[in-house]
Structure 1
Amino acid sequence: MVAKVTDMSSLPDWPRKLSAQQAAVYVGLTEPTFLKLVKTGVYPEGQAVPETRRIVWDKKLIDRVEDARSGLAASAAPNYDDEEWEKWQP
């Protein structure tokens, strides 16, 4: 069973793969609001973890979405998989 972590202050850094609840906290939203924005395409769909029922969101991809939404220059963002980014660019 996977433990639910909502208080990330005890962690040295956010995990790379986030649950829906963690991803929502990461971007400052409630989980229902985050999932609504996923459905409308603001945030990317989560990825299934093979051989489990878990769905996770890539923190770095969320960071790219937030960088684009805040107006940061694309060149200032880390160089992630451009093909994956192009699918979810707001």
Structure 2
Amino acid sequence: MKCTLEVDCTPLEARQFFGLPDVQPIQATIMAEVEKKMLAEMDRFSPDGVLKSWLSMFAQTPEQFQQAFSKMMFTGMNRPKG
């Protein structure tokens, strides 16, 4: 014998029926915190923020560029030949 029982209820109604706690207030609090953190970090990943972080790795003045280039050249020239 096969018996099928279909229950049409919302998740909240099912939790109440089984005696489980209502998690909506906790979920709302956690989601608000996640949203706040995401909005705070969003500026770091804007095109302007990403470009600034990439450009900070390179020399900013001609003197810094010249020093970096000289350092690379002298390091390459002083390598022992193998």
TM over 0.5: no
Bigger share in strand: 1
Place the TM-score, normalised by the shorter chain, in its bin.
under 0.3
Bigger share in helix: 2
Larger Rg: 2
- How does the TM-score come out when normalised to structure 2? 0.19
